[in-house]
Structure 1
Amino acid sequence: MTEEDWRLPIINYLQYPTLSSEKRIRIMALNYLLWNGDLVRKSKDELLLRCLGKEEYMKVMGEVHEGIYGAHQGGRKMCWLIRRYGYFWPTKGCEACQRHGPIQQAPLVPMNPVIKLWPFRGWTMDLIGKIYPASSK
């Protein structure tokens, strides 16, 4: 692990919880544990995902991106594939694709009312806090 490794503060806290550490690290460490010397993250579906350093991640990302595990189908799909194979990295997507890929923007769409088939089929409520400055009405 290098000095700039994102895993290092979490590993230090898990190994030595009595030492002082940032509150952010203590909260983040709730999702991690040390398993046979490796940092693993507990996923939402209770699987343990091995946390990767930058070099390991670049190797895994290269394998997924270049088609060893399948074709590159976008950032979300690649993130899903990497997690499916039991690995975790805190950022999403391929750095090269983020740098050189097109900027994706959703087209402007006018707002349309939602029409319900039956009266009282759906209920909505708009809540608003205190208005600054105070309105005359």
Structure 2
Amino acid sequence: MPKDCVQRIIKVGKKSLPSVLTRGMEIDVNYAIITQDDWRDPIINYLQYPTLPYEKRVRIMALNYLMWNGDLVQKSKDEVLLRCLGKKEYIKVMRETHEGICGAHQVGRKMCWLIRRYGYFWPTMMKDCTNYSKGCEACQRHGPIQQAPSVPMNLVVKP
């Protein structure tokens, strides 16, 4: 680990919602390790020590977040608190949602909607879910065949 990286270990419990349990799916994220290059770190520092000088961007971004039981959560528009995840955690959540026990290999938009419904958030959710579903080998192998011509199409002139 580089010398300039700072680590904090945060204990995280199980996240399970009734709608998830009826499907039989439960996502377990045991420990969150926050390093200095994590996107949550400036927001957490600002929320813990608001009197220190911070960039304007961080102060504006922190308006949408709060600390809840030692976790960073986002206040969504529909008044739901979504737990913010780091990179290792959200890769695990995407894998479980896409190809886990109840994963149905959904496309990126549906996968993003499901993850938000389970109560998780990170800033690049839509892009990451889309890239993950496009990179799934099983989806590519068993998905619909793309009917693209192998050569450029030529105009047909009507006589």
Deviant stretches of 4+, over 2 Å: 67-70, 93-102
Question: In 2, distance between residues paired with 1:87 and 1:8?
Answer: 17
Percentage of identical aligned residues: 75
Match of 1:9 among 31, 42, 61: 42
Q: How does 1:1-137 map to 2 (within 5 A)?
A: 1-91=34-124, 92=126, 93-94=128-129, 95-97=131-133
SS state of the match for residue 46, structure 1?
coil
Deviation, structure 1 residue 2: 1.5
Question: In 2, distance between residues paired with 1:98 and 1:28?
Answer: 30
C-alpha RMSD of matched pairs (Å)? 2.0
- In the alignment, residue 69 of structure 2 is paired with which amino acid? N
User: Greater share of helix residues, 1 or 2?
Assistant: 2
Deviation, structure 1 residue 97: 3.9
Question: In 2, distance between residues paired with 1:14 and 1:72?
Answer: 37
Q: Which runs of 5+ in 1 are unaligned?
A: 103-137
Structure 1, 60-69 or 83-92: larger mean CA deviation: 60-69
How does the TM-score come out when normalised to structure 2? 0.59
Higher Cα Rg: structure 1 or 2? 1
Give the total of aligned pairs.
102
Question: In 1, distance between residues paired with 2:55 and 2:71?
Answer: 22
How does the TM-score come out when normalised to structure 1? 0.68
1:31–1:59: structure 2 CA closer, same or farther, 3 Å change rule? same
